[in-house]
Structure 1
C-alpha cells in the first residue's frame, strides 16, 4: 500500500514526517508543490536524502480542469522543472490537485511522461480529522491501497504515522513504492 503526502514541503511538518517515517522504517511518496519547493529547497532535498519518492503536484495547486490550456500544462511542467532543478531527478508520478482530472489533464501528463496517482483512502487530515480519525482511515487500507495525507503542517498527521505503521505491520502490510503499472495506471509495489 502507498502512503502519500501532498502539498509540501512545509517547515511545519516535513522534517517531523521524515523523522516519524524513518523511525518506523517506512518510505512514502511526497507530492510536491513547485512554489513550496522553491521556498524550501532544503526540505525537498531532505525528503530525497531520506529516500522518499518525490512526485509532482503542480506549481501552485490550481483547479486544473478549470484553468484551461496552456495554463494547466504549464502548472504541471513548471513543477517538473522546479523539482528537477532542485533534486536532479525528474518525477514520474503526478497527482492533480483535489483529484480533479479530465482528458486534457491526462494528455498533459502523458506529454510529460507522468503517471496519474489518485487515492483509495482519504485520511481527511485536510478537513480537520484528528489523529485517531486518520489512524482509523488508514486501518481500512488493503494491499494496493493508496492513502491521501498532507504535508501541510498538520500535527495530527505527524502524530498518526507511528500508529499507522504499527497497525499496518500488525496486519502484515508495509508501505510500498507507487509506479506505473502495465496498463499505465498507478500500482503499489514492494518497498
Structure 2
C-alpha cells in the first residue's frame, strides 16, 4: 500500500505540473515575455490598415540595425496578407498572436474567447488586446499552446491629443526617459497604426546611446517562440 500511495502521489505531482498554465510556469514574467537577457525587446502591435507594407518596412529597418522585434498582428487583417507575416519571419522577427478581431477577451463568453485565440495568428506568444486578461484567459492561452505576453513600458503612442497621435520626438523621449527597471530585460509597446514606426530610428539610437542592448537579430524565425526568449 505504501508503494502504491507513493506512486499515486508522484503521478499527481506530474499531472499538476502538466496542467499548469504555460505563462504561470516557474520564472516566467508575463510583462517581460520570458526576456531574461538584459536586452530590450521592441514590440509592435495590431496592423497598418492604410499601408500594410509599412509593417514590412519597419521590420526591414530593424533588421538592418541588427534588431529582432516582436510583431503582434490582428489576424483578421494578417490572414489577408500572408506575405507580411512571412516577410517579418524571414527578416528575423517574431510574429505573435493578437487575437482574431481585437476584442476585450474577458468580456466574451469562454467559447468566444477561446475562438478569438484559436483563430489568431499561430504562434506561441499571445498578447491579449488592450493587455486585458485574467486567470481564465491565461488558462485558455495555455490550453491552446500560448504564453501570455504583455509589456513593461507602454509608450502610449495610441493616445491622441485632439486628432493627432504623439509624434516621433515625443515617443522617443518617453522611451529615453523611462526608468532603467522597465528597459533592462524589458518589453516596449508600440503600435503599427501610430507614429511609433517613425520613431524607431530615434528610439534605437537613444537606447544604444544610453548603453542598452536590444534583442539581436540572428536570422529567420518560425512560429515557435521559445521561453526564455533568444534575445
Tell me the TM-score range normalised by the shorter chain: 0.7 to 0.9
Q: Which residue of 2 aligns with 1:132?
A: 169
Cα distance between partner residues in 2 of 1:37 and 1:51: 18
User: Which consecutive segments of 4 or more residues in structure 1 shift more than 3 A?
Assistant: 177-181
Shift of 1:169: 1.0
- Gaps of at least 5 residues in structure 2 are 1-39, 160-164, 217-224
Aligned residues: 173
What is the root-mean-square deviation in Å for CA atoms of aligned residues?
Answer: 1.9
Shift of 1:126: 1.4
Cα distance between partner residues in 2 of 1:33 and 1:190: 24
Structure 1 residue matching 2:183: 3-state secondary structure = coil
Q: Which residue of 1 aligns with 2:211?
A: 172
- Gaps of at least 5 residues in structure 1 are 85-90, 182-188
Cα distance between partner residues in 2 of 1:117 and 1:18: 20
Deviation string, structure 1 residues 2-41 (Cα, Å, up to 9, x no partner):
1001113651520221132123221100112111111211
1:56 to 2:97 alignment: yes
Greater mean alpha carbon deviation, residues 132-141 or residues 24-33:
132-141
Greater mean alpha carbon deviation, residues 163-172 or residues 51-60:
163-172
Tell whether the 8 Å contact from 1:119 to 1:148 is kept in structure 2 after alignment: yes
1:16-55 pair list within 5 angstroms: 16-55=57-96
Q: Which has the higher strand share?
A: 1
Deviation string, structure 1 residues 116-148 (Cα, Å, up to 9, x no partner):
111111111212221112112221252111111
Give the TM-score, by structure 1 length. Answer: 0.83
Cα distance between partner residues in 1 of 2:226 and 2:174: 23
Structure 2 residue matching 1:39: 3-state secondary structure = coil
Cα distance between partner residues in 2 of 1:71 and 1:110: 16
1:25-174 pair list within 5 angstroms: 25-79=66-120, 83-84=121-122, 91-127=123-159, 128-139=165-176, 140=178, 141-152=182-193, 154=194, 156-174=195-213
Give the TM-score, by structure 2 length. Answer: 0.69
Aligned to 1:2, which of 33, 37, 41? 41
Cα distance between partner residues in 2 of 1:42 and 1:18: 13
Cα distance between partner residues in 2 of 1:49 and 1:12: 15
Shift of 1:190: 5.6
